[in-house]
Amino acid sequence: MRKLYYLIPALAVVVIALVVLTNSPTRFSKIQRLPNGSILRIVSISYGTHHNYPKPWQTFLGGRLPYSWTARFGWYWGVGQRSLHGEKNLAVFTICDQKSSTSFSGSSRVVVFDQQGNAFDACAGGGTCSFSDGIHHRTLQCWTLPAFPRRTQTIGLSFFELGGDGKTWQQVAQFKIPNPTSDAYPVWRAEPWPKTKTDGDLAVTLTDFKTAISWEEPMRAATNSEIAATRMTFHAQQTGRTNQVWRPKSIEISDATGNRWIPNPGPFFISFNHERDVDQVTVKSALWPGEAAWKLRVEFSRTADFDPDELWTVHGIMVPGATQVIDLHNSNSVHGIALKLVAITGEKAEQPGNLKWVAEKGHPNISVRALPVPKDRRWSLVRAVDHRGTEVEVHPATDWGNGETVYGLTIQPGAKSLDCTFALHKSRWVEFLAKPEFVSPKSPTTAPD
């Protein structure tokens, strides 16, 4: 009787939930069949700084109902929570149902566009998790869009899949959804470039600003079957110096509608090229013509001429074997920031934790951490030598975030230990308000009605 006492209310809750859900179509119940026969559905859309799917009550009920029931409602359980903090983002959750474990999400991307055909392509892949009952395979994916056209009432989402040649992209689905930020926004007025801005004795000139170029080959226009990019060219000069020691390190792109986008660090999203005192910064994705101006906030960081109180030298770091991970415990404090070495790993070993995703493959890597995370300073591995005094080639740094940085190394055979000198130094920032040159009008989508 006691079991029945608890079972009856539970069954009542389930019945009520099923009745409500069956007779209340969700606002985002968008479903399309993909060319391979899979079913792709949008199950949730949210705008803000914190996103999660499924909701707690969906997780509770979903884990207690048969798969055939939950499949009817497009539920997925055991996912946990997808969270973002900071600037507001548009998050789209999709579920792909298929009869095999071949995952649509493995090589896919989404492009967001508005009623005027303005498009933004900056979301390749997404946070995923999968479930299979042996017959059906289901993949939940979270797509977070750092920027999107905001001036129209509806926006479109075009999903692309990488073709068999591994180079060209093919559109496999397209949806129309309400724009959660539609409003009348101000219009910025662009400054003509070339334009020079200063931070103290550092003068930086924006000499070129192009978009809709090819990410793979930035010297030409992008085609509709490949990922486009945006390139900015700068010339920096410090008063009283003939050699140039300042290089662009990061860039923030924003517009009048509230988009504020910082391209992810790492070679997959942003590239830096320096030649003859000219710096080119190329970011994956093209800007759209619907905005009259974009604000570029560019961080510049030194590569040399560090002050003694900015330097930290660590002696006798063991050179790892090819598959070896050596945890490091060396620490210091520079300008009130606690610095710590994390690990040095061989060319066939992985860095610990999330650092494995940004470590350079096929090379030894050394990682460092700064706490609290410096807001206006950058790490540099200034110099590394082995026990014989032979210079070690230090590759460009890759930042994971949270104050963690990884450096790839080229170490000569026979090296037993390393002496590494690090610098923690202040950055400079300059801002430009400019409109890019559109190299080729890309039209990978059709505007939603």
**How does DSSP assign 212-271, residue by residue?**
EEESSSTTSBPPTTS-EEEEEEEEEEETT-SS--EEEEEEEEE-TTS-EE-PPSSTTTEE
For the cut 90, the answer to whether the pLDDT of residue 342 exceeds it is: yes
Q: Are 344 and 320 in contact (CB under 8 A)?
A: yes
| pLDDT at position 162 | 81
- Does an H or E element contain 430, and which? strand 428-434
For the cut 90, the answer to whether the pLDDT of residue 136 exceeds it is: no
CA distance 161 to 111: 11
Angle formed at CA 188 by CA 183 and CA 191, multiple of 5 degrees: 165
Overall average pLDDT of the 46-58 stretch: 74
Chain centroid to CA 334: how far?
A: 29
The owner of tokens 């939930």 is: 17
- The CA distances from residue 256 to 107, 183, 218, 299, in Å, are 32, 12, 27, 21
For the cut 90, the answer to whether the pLDDT of residue 83 exceeds it is: no
Nearest of 420, 442, 304, 323 to residue 368 by alpha carbon: 420
pLDDT band at 81 (very low <50, low <70, confident <90, very high): very low
Domains located in the chain, CATH noted = 27-178 (2.60.40), 195-304+429-438 (2.60.40), 308-426 (2.60.40)
pLDDT, greater one: 11 or 157: 157
Which tokens go with 5? 């006492």
CA distance 248 to 211: 18
Q: Give the percent of the chain with pLDDT over 70.
A: 77
Which tokens go with 419? 């002496």
Handedness of CA 108, 114, 116, 122 (dihedral sign): negative
DSSP conformation class of 343? E
For the cut 90, the answer to whether the pLDDT of residue 248 exceeds it is: yes
pLDDT band at 413 (very low <50, low <70, confident <90, very high): very high
pLDDT, greater one: 37 or 152: 152
pLDDT band at 144 (very low <50, low <70, confident <90, very high): confident
Overall average pLDDT of the 16-27 stretch: 43
Overall average pLDDT of the 356-378 stretch: 89
| pLDDT at position 139 | 79
The winner for highest mean pLDDT among 25-29, 93-97, 290-294 is 290-294
pLDDT band at 132 (very low <50, low <70, confident <90, very high): low
Chain centroid to CA 203: how far?
A: 29
Q: Are 248 and 281 in contact (CB under 8 A)?
A: yes
| pLDDT at position 323 | 96
| pLDDT at position 23 | 39
For the cut 80, the answer to whether the pLDDT of residue 227 exceeds it is: yes
Is the bond preceding 54 in cis, omega lying within 30 degrees of 0? yes
Strands 202-214 and 195-199: antiparallel
Q: Are 187 and 141 in contact (CB under 8 A)?
A: no
CA distance 285 to 278: 22
